[in-house]
């Protein structure tokens, strides 16, 4: 059994949680019988038992690391993520999770390379050659993204490996130790998923509102096959009970 941990709250929280959960099911080819959805929507929500959980997907979030001060919910989220990432269960983060992981490991998160909602180019580095999720994938591929903050590439930790960069964002994929991954882009998304997410967060600053129609019109031409394959490989990695080489 895998776990999808959603970090959504507020009026749109439940709808976004279910959307990203089902996007992950589509990308992995799994069903609701294979992946359990749990949501940390406030400071009282509990992680629950991880007995029998073979891997954890952590969804995106409207939270930001660069705020500097955090409310009770965000502090609770950070505490739970710390427990998850320092455990023995493989974890896969998208978007906010990369910022959080960098911050958790003492690195810097800034606004130096934001990306508006839409396509981004991901460039796999030589460090990805033997990575269990990335080996034999195309060195360059497109994915869908949208973020206002980013990890700085010089924020190094001895157990954090930069696996991919890109022309518009210098940190696209990292691995922590041998069983935690984070992508800056939304590896689970396809064009339909991106439109749904943009509609949820129309006024959150992820894209210029006047560009909405043009962005939506261009989404069907974005090839997300390789990005989605990474999500699928993570699920296979977990269910096979393997450890990264």
What is the model's pLDDT at position 197?
Answer: 86
Write phi, then psi, for 35 (nearest 5 degrees): -130, 125
Q: Does residue 74 contact residue 52 with C-beta atoms inside 8 Å?
A: no
Rounded to an integer, the average pLDDT of 230-239 is 98
CB atoms near residue 87 (< 10 Å):
14
Mean pLDDT in residue range 116-132? 96
pTM of the model: 0.93
**Domain 2-241 has what CATH class?**
alpha beta
Is residue 138 over pLDDT 60? yes
**What DSSP letter does each residue of 73-106 carry, written as one string?**
HHHHHHHHHHHHHTSSS-EEEETHHHHHHHHHTT
Query: In the chain, what percentage of residues exceed pLDDT 70?
Result: 98
Task: Read off the pLDDT of each residue in 146-164 and give the average, rounded to a whole number.
Answer: 91
Domain ranges across the chain? 2-241
The pLDDT value given to residue 155: 67
| DSSP 8-state symbol, 62 | S
Over the stretch 25-72, which tens digit does the pLDDT of each residue have?
999 999 999 999 999 999 999 999 999 999 999 999 999 999 989 999
| 241, pLDDT greater than 90 | no
> d(Cα 148, Cα 128) in Å, to the nearest integer?
26
């Amino acid at each position: 059994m895998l776990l999808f941990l959603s970090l959504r709250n507020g009026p749109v929280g439940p709808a976004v949680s279910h959307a990203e959960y089902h996007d992950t099911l589509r990308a992995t080819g799994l069903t609701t019988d294979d992946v359990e959805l749990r949501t940390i929507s406030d400071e009282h929500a509990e992680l629950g038992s991880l007995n029998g959980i073979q891997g954890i997907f952590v969804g995106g979030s409207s939270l930001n690391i660069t705020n500097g001060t955090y409310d009770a919910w965000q502090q609770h989220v950070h505490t739970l993520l710390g427990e998850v990432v320092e455990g023995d269960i493989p974890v896969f983060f998208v978007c906010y999770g990369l910022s959080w992981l960098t911050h958790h490991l003492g690195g810097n998160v800034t606004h130096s390379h934001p990306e508006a909602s839409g396509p981004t180019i991901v460039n796999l580095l030589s460090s990805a050659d033997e990575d269990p999720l990335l080996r034999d994938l195309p060195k360059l591929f497109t994915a869908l993204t949208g973020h206002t903050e980013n990890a700085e590439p010089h924020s190094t930790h001895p157990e954090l490996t930069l696996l991919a960069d890109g022309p518009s964002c210098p940190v696209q994929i990292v691995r922590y130790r041998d069983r935690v991954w984070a992508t800056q882009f939304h590896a689970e998304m396809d064009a339909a998923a991106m439109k749904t997410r943009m509609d949820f967060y129309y006024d959150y600053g992820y894209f210029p509102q006047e560009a909405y129609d043009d962005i939506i019109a261009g989404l069907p031409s974005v090839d997300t096959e390789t990005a989605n394959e990474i999500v699928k490989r993570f699920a296979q990695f977990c269910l096979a009970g393997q450890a990264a080489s």
